[in-house]
Structure 1
């Protein structure tokens, strides 16, 4: 029997009013509707359609408020999040009742498909894998796309909100992420947490993202791996009304096929 993954959906939100949720008259971003269903519902359904996924856990500040949306997609285990993503994931590890490997994604990823998940899982390697989309792949299909790009010698990259954890070695990366999260959108600032040489190489673009992740992982005592995803839609999460409008168009085009 193929190895079964535990899927963790991050469905919490930062303190204060979420602008996208407020725009759609919702208290929680995960419940913003797309095509008549909450974003969380879309994500849960896609994960249920993957034979590689054995368990689905939904992590949020008010899990019971999200339970109906999760149930509409096929259901999941509702868990209470803690103070911040990193701490919440560490606490799940400490529980000891959620077997590795883990697939971690987010509730604001309603365009996630089983094919994206399966490609990512197939290519995942080492203790930690991070799914990304390269800029040229995105612009070839979406020439007007506006994303946050991390620029390296092997291209510019945008995150796909897909992470693979295969052991509790990842706890070291989570602790660093808690300290570095505010720098996540600028490569050199992010990599300065791994020392001046790696930060300088990121700033001057004399290192590729694949190598940078590997070196950063080594500094943390784990193996880190870049997964370059073939479908650029994997990097389209929904953070603002323009993203929402694009997601609606993409879902409509899928239905028309």
Structure 2
């Protein structure tokens, strides 16, 4: 069974909107129930059957204090954005011989489970690609978390939200960085995302004829990188904490932990 290294991106600055209710400088340090948010993510990754080394990228001193009893855990300082932070985490992994594929995930997904992680990795292994991006059907999200607010995209296969699990081939990471910056900037705007890949794709999106293979094929033609969207059956992959309503949901579900 193939092993993966993992990078947890915990360098995000707490938004002004969230800070009103959770006065922490870093999202990763927001306490939900008994634990900082980053702990829930780390716990799920550590429990995965597929993960070897873990690097957490974020406020190093605070993270080392939180995880002082954990072994086989590395840390890296954050960069100016999530992509720079990923590069810092990869640099730490490369010092010990990085695995062929790397799992990447943010720190603001406290609902994530080892089962969801293992399922996503298994689905990625059935495909040949340079990177894999999780998506979750709206029905799955709303059944598990009724009323949760997410950005959705209507495709011919269904209505999806972007997930929070990624797998990247380690030898393609450098070539993905510049492109990833553009996608991160547009990820909340489906039409802008489609425009990045061409007006033809944008038109298909507007006329509700865009398919997942359409987007994947166009992506490869434009940038020369093979991307695959992986549909996860776990709503925990598609719900994060980036606004007060999300925080209240997390406190309601995890607050007794």
For structure 2, list consecutive stretches of 5 or more residues without a partner in the other structure: none
Q: Deviation string for 1:176-196 (max 9, x for gaps)?
A: 121343321122211211222
| Structure 1 unaligned spans of 5+ | none
| 1:238-253 correspondence runs (5 A) | 238-251=241-254
- Do the aligned partners of 1:81 and 1:88 also contact (CA within 8 Å) in 2? yes
C-alpha distance in structure 2 between counterparts of 1:13 and 1:140, whole Å = 28
The whole-number CA distance in structure 1 between the counterparts of 2:37 and 2:156 is 35
* TM-score of the aligned structures, taking structure 2 as reference length: 0.87
**Does residue 1:79 correspond to 2:76, yes or no?**
yes
Deviation at 1:76, TM superposition (A): 2.3
- Counterpart CA distance in 2 for 1:40 and 1:87 is 19
Please say if residues 11 and 85 of structure 2, whose CA atoms lie closer than 8 Å, have aligned partners that are also in contact: no
Equivalent of 2:43 in 31, 45, 57: 45
Cross-structure match for 1:117: 117
Q: Which residue of 85, 88, 107 maps to 1:88?
A: 85
Q: CA RMSD in A?
A: 2.4
Paired residue for 1:10? 9
- Looking at structure 1, the residues matched to 234 and 134 of structure 2 have their Cα atoms a distance apart, in angstroms, of 11
Q: 5 Å matches for 1:1-257?
A: 2-14=1-13, 18-60=16-58, 62-71=59-68, 76-93=73-90, 96-97=94-95, 98-124=98-124, 125=127, 126-251=129-254
How far apart, CA to CA, are the structure 1 residues paired with 2:15 and 2:141?
A: 30
- Output the CA distance in 1 between the equivalents of 2:27 and 2:174: 27
- Partners of 1:12 and 1:81 within 8 A in 2: yes
Q: Bigger CA drift: 214-223 or 93-102?
A: 93-102
Higher relative contact order (CA 8 A, sep 6+): 2
Q: Residues 247 and 17 of structure 1: is their aligned pair in 2 closer, same or farther, counting only changes over 3 Å? A: closer
- The change in CA–CA distance for 1:212 and 1:17 in structure 2 (over 3 A counts) is closer
Give the deviation of 1:106 after TM superposition. 0.8
**Greater Cα shift, 169-178 or 76-85:** 169-178
**Equivalents in 2 of 1:235, 1:103: separation in Å?**
16
Secondary structure of the corresponding residue to residue 103 of structure 1: strand
